[in-house]
Structure 1
Amino acid sequence: MGRYRIHVATGAWPFSGSFNRVQLWLVGERGEAELELQLRPARSQVEEFEQDVPQDLGPLQFVKLRKHHSLVDDAWFCDRITVQGPGALEEAAFPCYRWVQGEGLLTLPEGTARLAGNNTWDVFQKHREQELEERQQIYCWATWKEGLPLTIAAGSEDDLPANMRFHEQKRLDHEWSANDYRVRKWFMDIALKHVYSLMRSWNSLEDFDQIFWGQKTALAEKVHQRWQDDELFGYQFLNGANPMLLRRSTSLPSRLVLPSGMEELQAQLEKELQGGSLFEADFILLDGIPANVIQGEKQYLAAPLVMLKMDPSGKLLPMVIQIEPPNPSNPTPPLFLPSDPPLAWLLAKTWVRSSDFQLHELQYHLLNTHLLAEVFTVATMRCLPGLHPVFKLLIPHTRYTLDINTRARNQLISDGGVFDKVTSSGGGGHVQLMRQAMTQLTYRSLCPPDDLADRGLMGIPSALYAHDALRLWDIIARYVEGIIHLFYHGDDVVRGDPELQAWCREITEVGLCQAQDRGFPVSFQSRAQLCHFLTMCIFTCSAQHAAVNTGQFDWFAWVPNAPCTMRMPPPTTKEDVTMDTVMGSLPNVWQTSLQMSITWLLGRPHLDMVPLGHHKEEYFSGPEPKAVLRQFQADLDKLEKEIMARNEQLDLPYEYLKPSLVESSITI
């Protein structure tokens, strides 16, 4: 006979506990024992039991549990179960971190990560094969739109597996925030003041102040005050909400047609080019995208090209803007210069900022983070069992992603959703734009060391996104390498892991629709290749999403700085631009109100946020993975202090990649 000490931990979420009775079994190498426990789990509680077992079970392999119910199936969120057997120096841990529903038998393996084996009699091998069979029935692929990454097969968040949905606290916070008093008050005030003119233009730029009040960030206020300045315009390409488009010029773009009389400008451009200080932002992806029609009013899109120079102090300043590319009907489109009439130059910059809004939201935010993270999540659930070290490494970075993406497809980018109602790329253009962006999505573009090198942005002191992204990439890479090297002792082990190779193929060939021609691997041949790919996955799901999501309120709440739509065609001459032209081009009263409200909802602090590296779930057992995680946390804390010290010296602090503000997964 031996005495076993059992701890059962229940989640802290609302309704995590259960009034149903739970039955437990211990399964060891030499036997199995049913425990005579009266367990009714309570939220946030760790219940301790001691139980005498008449036989020697040997090293524990599994805990099995069944939740019984009579009238009501009261779901239980089980965190983990730990057991210390007779004579054992350490507890055996059985991670769960999922909802227990119905009366089926749930088997939890001991938490030590294990690679797939070749022994068909291995109980762990049987468990992992059965687990994947069950998961592949639950997690199925679907095509939301042809030409885009595949998604989870779920019509709404209610169709998702229970373990992928928001917990109750998160759900209520997310849904209630849409009806937040301040948001409703914004709409009410606007409706009262402009009840007969919601679809009309504002009369002046100062009129936008009527809704730019209440809670706002210090940076949003600076944008409000300085959005017309060329310096802030250029700064946003380096460190704004979308730092992904700028690149150093290696030649003058072929689309930049300089008519006669502009020899001085050409000489200036060539001088900056030779000095390595000429940069460009080309929005050519928007060329040919059909513009939206909102409540019967045609909207407009453009595909600008911006040429900028970097002065010795690190300021990035615009030199010339071409709003539209040349075409047969307009082979020499007008070029706008800082020396032009102020309103003409302001309107040209506003066209650029509106175009940046479209690419930011659809290409760099939605496609390159949200939809990619969904592919990683579904492939992980379909191909990697819970015992696999890569599953244990990645699962904290998939939290809530399927839920938030499903909501986005039903509310933001759906037919009649927010994009259709308010943006110039809505009404179908947004889908066409993402299809175009998908053809340009390369593996290198998702890896900052490659992407920043390709764009010529390495080593620029004023490029704060680039600096912080590289530092975070390196920290994540060391963490990944530390975990992977514990379980893969050579390249041959990587090549010989069938579950890992299936996961790789599932991402590239299935989820990303045959993306191998754009550099995505279809197999892993070495530990280094695997570590690089995993670093990309974690960086995309955490740091990169933070970089393109967190600043939306800062940069987009003052609507003239990032108009969601333009309501007049681009100017063809400079002399005829008046304030009426500017105001007639900017979003109307209703569109402005909606943009401000949405950016507040997206950019506000939200409950249940888990910073990178600080998830509470303990999926790994044993001291070695925990030591790697502690070093990861120490490295993140060091970077946090470095960024805080740097930001104290800056007029415009860059905080989007400060580790404490980087969420571990995509949840908003």
Structure 2
Amino acid sequence: MATYEVQVATGDVFQARTTNSISITLVGTEGESAKTKLSHKLLTNCVKAKIHCEHDLGPILLIRLYKERILFEDAWFCNDVCVTSPQGKAYHFPCYQWVEDEIPLQLREGTGKTLSDDEYDILKQHRQYELEERRAAFRWKSFAEGWPLCLDVDSIEDLTSDTKFSYIRAKDFHGTRTFQILRMAFMGFLNNHCSWKSLETMEKIFSKLKGRNIVPEYVASHWSKDTFFGYQFLNGNNPVVIQKCMELPDKFPVTQEMVASFLGADTNLRKEMQEGHIFIADYEILEGIPTGTIHGQQQYSAAPLCLLHQDSAGLLRPIAIQLSQTPGPKSPIFLPSDNEWDWILAKTWVRNAEFYIHQIITHLLKTHLFGEVFAISTLRHLPMCHPVFKLLIPHFRFTLHINTLARSVLINPGGTIEKGVGASYEGLMMILKRGLEKVTYMSLCLPDDIQARGVSSIPNYYYRDDGMKLWTAMASFVSGIIDFYYASDDSVQRDAELQAWVKEIFMNGFLGRQSSGIPSSLWNITELKKFLTMIIFTCSAQHAAVNTGQELGGEQGIVTLWAAEAHISFFYPSSMREPPPEVKGRYSLQLFLDTIPTVATTAKNATSLLLLSSTLADTRFLGQYPEEHFTELEPKQLIRVFQGRLQEITEEIEERNKLVELAYNYLNPKQIENSISI
């Protein structure tokens, strides 16, 4: 007689417990146990039981969990199962999923193994069955031509329980959204299709939303300053556009005479370019994008070029702006010495272009949509026991839910984005398609991107500095995990599941475009480590950098600069109601107010963007792994080391922020979510 001790843990989530009957079968190398009922009602967090077998089952390979209805279906969330053999050896079976209906759930022992590591046919058959089930549940579809493929569901109701928001997160999400809509409606903004009466009115309206001051004094007093405009290219929402300019393109004929007075004494434009002090932002991708109407009023767009200069103090300022890709009499080059409102309006057109590039390419495409591709391919090709699955799965939490929701209400025809931006729906589709055509592997890998854009040495670039610390920490963590599970380059090449995984990412995420540099196969450990680091960075730090808020301390408490940027129409306009100026000297404050979005458009965008920049309930921050997918001691130790390094980075950032005028917290680890979930 052999007696096994079994401990079954229920998850700490809403309605995780069940009134249904739960039973278990143990499967070892020498046979199976009888199906044994654990509890008539699993209403406690932990259930212990003993299973008596006629003989020793050998090493335990699998367990089967059965949930049988008593009167009605009652889903159960199982955390994990621990089985202790008669010899005292403990076998851990991670689960972390909902058990629904009456279909038995098979779980294998938690040691991370690739396909070639499995010795027993029953384990090989199990991983094949698991992947077949997943591929049936997670299918691909095309949302729009030229876009990455996405999950084949029509709404969040079609998602599996394990990919949906948790109850408390869904409740917080919908509660926050409803509150903001009602607040805007109550204040009378949603139906006010007029221009803003003054800048002061705008500041007053958005000074206290959701019970907090989100337009700090600094932003209110510096929004029109050239230094603050330049700062945004380094540490704003979209810090990945600016690049060093060593030679002016023919389409941007800026001359020495135009900018001499802005460069300082004893220098010239050619010298400043040679010394690496001139930078450019080119929005060519927006050229010819069709625009639409908002409440019957035609909207406009531009594809500007902006030249910036880094002065001797390290400050970045714009020195020339052209609002089209074609120079000529009707496309003047605007300068800081121009009429005040000419120059402000030119900068506002750049910010409008920045809105499109940030929201559609940097944010939507390069974090949300790629994150979804990584998640689906992982679910379809890597079983739970695969070490790469264990490493990545925490970084896909709630991603499929938020993206499905976005396709239902935000980026769908007639959705929130189309109603609040100047580009037509076809224009928005075109921007993302063009963006995908230009995406490179280098642009997704921070060290390579920094080098390629020539911004390695520009000062006050906190996105780069903090991002590189995080990339290095992630790379070290990934390296330790991969070295533990992969003995050689050959073991990477022979991992058929891994190779199918990366190929599907290449084909369905990047549409098989070889010029992107995205690998379609992985040939060595070094390539695998870099690819995994890129995925984790994209799904956590990069998303935080382009989505969440920069917090500033002040007399009125913590304020969110990102929200201030997003909701002040004159700083980050989503649409422009007048065409780009073709001559100088005709612009005034009133024409400026008549160009930027109306009160209603601003309010509607504010409602959405406040929600999308919120920290909701049931958030897990970078390095938090409450679900123990890894069961071996070495990976657990690597996680602790990673968490320790993240704490050090947090302390370094907070010390730095004490010394700078404008604190940068986008990449503070304690504010970075583990996954793209908002």
Q: TM-score of the superposition, structure 2-length normalised?
A: 0.94
Report the Cα offset of residue 271 of structure 1: 3.0
Q: 1:482 to 1:461 in 2, by over 3 A?
A: same
1:643 is aligned with what amino acid? I
Q: 1:202 to 1:508 in 2, by over 3 A?
A: same
Q: After superposition, give the CA deviation of every residue in 1:327-364 in whole Å (9 maximum; x if it has no partner).
A: 6xx46611111111111111111111111111100000
Whole-angstrom distance in 2 between the partners of 1:268 and 1:351: 27
Q: 1:260 to 1:248 in 2, by over 3 A?
A: closer
Map 1:150-165 → 2, pairs under 5 A: 150-165=149-164
Map 1:246-265 → 2, pairs under 5 A: 246-258=242-254, 262=258, 264=260
Report the Cα offset of residue 308 of structure 1: 0.6
Structure 1 position 135 matched with structure 2 position 134: yes
Q: Say whether the 8 Å CA contact 2:436–2:510 is kept in structure 1.
A: no
Q: 1:263 to 1:630 in 2, by over 3 A?
A: closer
Q: Say whether the 8 Å CA contact 1:223–1:561 is kept in structure 2.
A: no
Q: 1:186 to 1:532 in 2, by over 3 A?
A: same
The equivalent of 1:80 in structure 2 is: 80
Q: Say whether the 8 Å CA contact 2:38–2:48 is kept in structure 1.
A: no
Q: After superposition, give the CA deviation of every residue in 1:7-59 in whole Å (9 maximum; x if it has no partner).
A: 2111222121111111111112222113242253337x122334444421222
Report the Cα offset of residue 207 of structure 1: 1.8
* Secondary structure in 2 matching 1:367: helix
The equivalent of 1:199 in structure 2 is: 193
1:38 is aligned with what amino acid? S
The equivalent of 1:367 in structure 2 is: 365
Q: After superposition, give the CA deviation of every residue in 1:528-584 in whole Å (9 maximum; x if it has no partner).
A: 000000100111011100000003414212221101111101112221101221011
Whole-angstrom distance in 1 between the partners of 2:564 and 2:3: 59
The equivalent of 2:205 in structure 1 is: 211
Whole-angstrom distance in 2 between the partners of 1:420 and 1:495: 45
The equivalent of 2:556 in structure 1 is: none
Q: After superposition, give the CA deviation of every residue in 1:563-613 in whole Å (9 maximum; x if it has no partner).
A: 111110111222110122101101111011112222211112211110111
2:156 is aligned with what amino acid? E
The equivalent of 2:38 in structure 1 is: 37
The equivalent of 1:640 in structure 2 is: 650
* Secondary structure in 2 matching 1:428: helix
The equivalent of 2:555 in structure 1 is: none
The equivalent of 2:230 in structure 1 is: 234
Whole-angstrom distance in 1 between the partners of 2:431 and 2:259: 35
Q: After superposition, give the CA deviation of every residue in 1:273-320 in whole Å (9 maximum; x if it has no partner).
A: 122100111111111111121121111111111111111222111111
Whole-angstrom distance in 2 between the partners of 1:332 and 1:428: 27
1:137 is aligned with what amino acid? A
Whole-angstrom distance in 1 between the partners of 2:59 and 2:300: 68
Whole-angstrom distance in 2 between the partners of 1:433 and 1:307: 22
Structure 1 position 402 matched with structure 2 position 374: no
Whole-angstrom distance in 1 between the partners of 2:469 and 2:523: 26
Q: Which moved more, 1:648-657 or 1:360-369?
A: 648-657
1:114 is aligned with what amino acid? K
Q: Say whether the 8 Å CA contact 1:60–1:110 is kept in structure 2.
A: yes
Q: Say whether the 8 Å CA contact 2:259–2:320 is kept in structure 1.
A: no
Report the Cα offset of residue 139 of structure 1: 0.9
Q: After superposition, give the CA deviation of every residue in 1:442-481 in whole Å (9 maximum; x if it has no partner).
A: 1110000000100111133300001111111111011111
Pick aligned residue for 1:666 from 648, 653, 676:
676
The equivalent of 1:489 in structure 2 is: 487
Report the Cα offset of residue 259 of structure 1: 7.4
Pick aligned residue for 1:514 from 495, 512, 515:
512
The equivalent of 1:472 in structure 2 is: 470
Report the Cα offset of residue 155 of structure 1: 0.5
Whole-angstrom distance in 2 between the partners of 1:239 and 1:436: 25
Map 1:65-214 → 2, pairs under 5 A: 65-89=65-89, 91-117=90-116, 122-180=121-179, 182-191=180-189, 198-214=192-208
Whole-angstrom distance in 2 between the partners of 1:60 and 1:305: 65
* Secondary structure in 2 matching 1:638: helix
Map 1:291-302 → 2, pairs under 5 A: 291-302=291-302
Report the Cα offset of residue 4 of structure 1: 2.5
Report the Cα offset of residue 120 of structure 1: 8.3
Report the Cα offset of residue 260 of structure 1: 10
Q: Say whether the 8 Å CA contact 1:224–1:558 is kept in structure 2.
A: no
Any stretches of 5+ residues in structure 1 without a counterpart?
A: none
Whole-angstrom distance in 2 between the partners of 1:344 and 1:136: 56
The equivalent of 2:340 in structure 1 is: 342
Q: Say whether the 8 Å CA contact 1:383–1:503 is kept in structure 2.
A: yes
Q: After superposition, give the CA deviation of every residue in 1:366-386 in whole Å (9 maximum; x if it has no partner).
A: 000000001101111111111
Whole-angstrom distance in 1 between the partners of 2:632 and 2:419: 52
* Secondary structure in 1 matching 2:623: coil
Q: 1:284 to 1:103 in 2, by over 3 A?
A: same
Structure 1 position 290 matched with structure 2 position 290: yes
Q: Say whether the 8 Å CA contact 1:508–1:514 is kept in structure 2.
A: yes
Structure 1 position 555 matched with structure 2 position 551: no
Whole-angstrom distance in 1 between the partners of 2:244 and 2:256: 26
1:398 is aligned with what amino acid? F
1:206 is aligned with what amino acid? E
Q: Say whether the 8 Å CA contact 1:249–1:280 is kept in structure 2.
A: yes
Report the Cα offset of residue 118 of structure 1: 8.3
Q: 1:352 to 1:189 in 2, by over 3 A?
A: same
Q: Say whether the 8 Å CA contact 1:94–1:111 is kept in structure 2.
A: yes
Q: After superposition, give the CA deviation of every residue in 1:54-88 in whole Å (9 maximum; x if it has no partner).
A: 42122211111110014321111111111222222
2:634 is aligned with what amino acid? E
Whole-angstrom distance in 1 between the partners of 2:660 and 2:119: 61
The equivalent of 2:541 in structure 1 is: 543
Q: Which moved more, 1:266-275 or 1:523-532?
A: 266-275
* Secondary structure in 2 matching 1:560: coil
**What is the aligned length?**
659
Q: 1:512 to 1:71 in 2, by over 3 A?
A: farther
Q: Percent identity?
A: 39
Report the Cα offset of residue 252 of structure 1: 1.1
Q: Say whether the 8 Å CA contact 2:396–2:676 is kept in structure 1.
A: yes
* Secondary structure in 1 matching 2:449: helix
The equivalent of 2:422 in structure 1 is: 424
The equivalent of 1:57 in structure 2 is: 57
Structure 1 position 502 matched with structure 2 position 500: yes
2:237 is aligned with what amino acid? A
Q: Which moved more, 1:269-278 or 1:354-363?
A: 269-278
Q: Give the aligned CA root-mean-square deviation in angstroms.
A: 1.9
Q: Which moved more, 1:12-21 or 1:359-368?
A: 12-21
Q: 1:231 to 1:39 in 2, by over 3 A?
A: farther
Q: Say whether the 8 Å CA contact 1:7–1:83 is kept in structure 2.
A: yes
* Secondary structure in 2 matching 1:625: helix
Q: Say whether the 8 Å CA contact 2:300–2:578 is kept in structure 1.
A: yes
* Secondary structure in 1 matching 2:148: coil
Report the Cα offset of residue 219 of structure 1: 6.9
Q: Which moved more, 1:201-210 or 1:587-596?
A: 201-210
Structure 1 position 652 matched with structure 2 position 662: yes
Q: Say whether the 8 Å CA contact 2:378–2:501 is kept in structure 1.
A: yes
Q: Which moved more, 1:165-174 or 1:363-372?
A: 165-174
Whole-angstrom distance in 2 between the partners of 1:485 and 1:263: 54
* Secondary structure in 2 matching 1:155: coil
Whole-angstrom distance in 2 between the partners of 1:205 and 1:119: 67
Q: After superposition, give the CA deviation of every residue in 1:76-115 in whole Å (9 maximum; x if it has no partner).
A: 11111112222225x2110111111111111000000111
Report the Cα offset of residue 420 of structure 1: 1.3
1:603 is aligned with what amino acid? S
Q: 1:332 to 1:255 in 2, by over 3 A?
A: farther
2:239 is aligned with what amino acid? P
Structure 1 position 573 matched with structure 2 position 567: no
Q: Which moved more, 1:549-558 or 1:257-266?
A: 257-266
Q: Say whether the 8 Å CA contact 1:98–1:163 is kept in structure 2.
A: yes
The equivalent of 1:19 in structure 2 is: 19
